[in-house]
Structure 1
Amino acid sequence: MKPVQTKSWLVAAALVAAAGGAHAQKAGDWVFGAGALLYAPQDKTTPLRFTSPVEREIPGSGASVKNATTLGLNLHYFITDNWAVEGVLGVPPRIKLDGAGTLAPLGQLGSARLYAPSVLGKYFFGSADDKFRFSAGLGLTYTKFGSVRLNDGLQNTLGGALGLPPGVSSTSAKIDSKLAPVLNVGFNYAFTKNLGMTFSVSYIPMKTKATLTTQVRGNTVAVSQTRVRLDPIVPFLYLTYKF
């Protein structure tokens, strides 16, 4: 091979190597992400049951938790070229609860604000220089429900089940906070040295309990409960920026 040709090949190889390195997610990198996060519960509830003053069930009662979309934010820190720690936080969406079974005619029963920060350990397959990388992760999320509101239809139904006329009683609700595992897979693509896009899907097996307290003039007259299996699937599509 002629010296000029040899030099040309060396230059081309250097350019390819530089282009590959430009897309690296390597040890020590911080990668910030922001995009659309969907909370899609695969829910199932038990019938609403009074636990005091006497135990009895509202036959055929049920509820369905609706999907919610919000702005998701996350941050990766790459410990090595393949291992990273990720923190995820969504702007808390308001989750709506619809009636099911004998409560279906009531429509929306209530709503709650969802707080669910997560921390995951993730493994990125392939080389740090690859533009396209697949990842898998495992972590924990702490799920808290705040600002719980119950609609008038459910309030009146609970009061009526106790033999009270509409408007006499008021009912408040509390949903238990839970620590749950997170299983995650993702596909990551680098457009430039710093900018990329990721699509990930998480699954969170989780059960919780809602406790409803009915009062008349500030005095508790009944307590009722339902258990909820949420098991949400959480797709997350977001742009990334590497520092």
Structure 2
Amino acid sequence: MKKQALRALAVLAALASGSAMAQKAGDWVVGAGWMHLAPQDSSQPLALTSPVATVVPGSGARVSNSDTLGLTAMYFIDSHWAVEGVLGVPPKFKLYGTGSLESVGEIGEARQWSPTVLGKYYFNDGDAKFRPYVGLGATYVWYSDVNLTPSLQGAMGKLLHAPAGATVTTAKLDGTFAPVANVGMAWQFDPHWGLSASVSYIPMKTTAKLTTTTVAGFPVATSQTKLTLNPIVPYVAVTYKF
């Protein structure tokens, strides 16, 4: 009888443990970890749009990789479907000249804001410790702290045949909506704590618009270039389930 009672207690303990591990309707999971953004970038040549429309032959730009802290919050609709919000510390990207602008080196930098909403489907049963998942969603991307380097300021002045230090160029990057595809895996190693690893792909473009004025603020020229970014975004996080 004692052996049977001990076996029954062991079974109940195992069932209780499995239930505690389960991801079910109403659960919240938050996460924080390392996010890496690796643009698969290309660009069109820099084009002057005024006072005379012309293209700077062979000019281009590339965008650096960036690392940041990623933050997530996810709500389980049932044991398989979940909705996740992703918002991290805005990463800083550096832009470098290519082609005929390669000698300029670094041409500027900007911070990227890209809050994301994903619908996710988790495979395996809700009480499984290891669960692969796929996700699909959207993000709105915009930029702040856009700064151009002195080397680009000098290059723009030469391009416009202006005396050294006589012009100032500022830049703006257009915001855009973009789809997000996501695939990953989650490991729940106790009732609350877990690990998650995923990779996202974001097909996106932006237009960089440059305005050049005299030091006194009188307009001299405008120019622009289109950048294709298409970043691949690995993300590894520690998670906590409520």
TM-score in same-fold range (> 0.5): yes
Task: Give the SS at the match of 1:27.
Answer: coil
Residue deviations 1:28-51, cap 9 Å, x none? 011110011111110000111101
Tell me the equivalent position of 1:234.
233
Give the corresponding residue for 2:223: 224
Letter in 2 for 1:234: V
Query: 1:180 and 1:195 mapped to 2: Cα distance?
Result: 32
CA distance in 1, matches of 2:164, 2:180: 43
- Whole-Å separation in 1 of the counterparts to 2:88 and 2:70: 4
**TM-score of the aligned structures, taking structure 2 as reference length:** 0.96
Are 2:77 and 1:79 equivalent residues in the alignment? yes
Distance 1:5 1:147 in 2: 69
1:123 is paired with a residue whose SS is: strand
Taking the TM superposition and a 5 Å limit, the aligned residue runs for 1:1-12 are 6-12=4-10
* 1:164-179 mapped onto 2 (5 Å cutoff): 164-179=162-177
DSSP 3-state at the match of 1:157: helix
Task: State yes or no: 1:66 paired with 2:64.
Answer: yes
| Divergent runs of 4+, >2 A | 3-16
SS of the equivalent of 1:90 reads coil
Tell me the residue number matched to 1:46: 44
SS at match of 1:42: coil
TM-score (norm 1): 0.96
Note if 1:19 corresponds to 2:17.
Answer: yes
Please tell me the residue identity of whatever aligns with 2:81.
W
Give the secondary structure class of the aligned counterpart of 1:17: helix
Aligned-partner Cα distance in 2 for 1:103–1:26: 55
Which position in structure 1 is the counterpart of 2:88?
90
Q: Paired residue for 1:138?
A: 136
1:173-200, CA deviations, whole angstroms, 9 ceiling, x for partnerless residues? 0100001001001110012100001001
Taking the aligned partners of 1:63 and 1:130, their CA distance within structure 2 comes to: 47
Q: Partner of 1:197 in structure 2?
A: 195
Deviations 1:135-168 (A, max 9, x none): 1111110100111000011111111111112210
- Gap runs ≥5 in structure 1: none
Taking only aligned residues, the RMSD between alpha carbons, in angstroms, comes to: 1.2
Residues 3-30 of structure 1: CA deviation (Å, up to 9, x unaligned):
6555444333322222222211111011
| Structure 2, unaligned runs of 5 or more | none
- Percent identity over the alignment? 51
Q: Provide the residue aligned with 1:105 in structure 2.
A: 103
What number of residue pairs does the alignment pair up? Answer: 241
Determine the structure 2 residue equivalent to 1:151.
149
C-alpha distance after superposition, 1:100-130 (max 9, x if no partner): 1111111111000111100111111111101
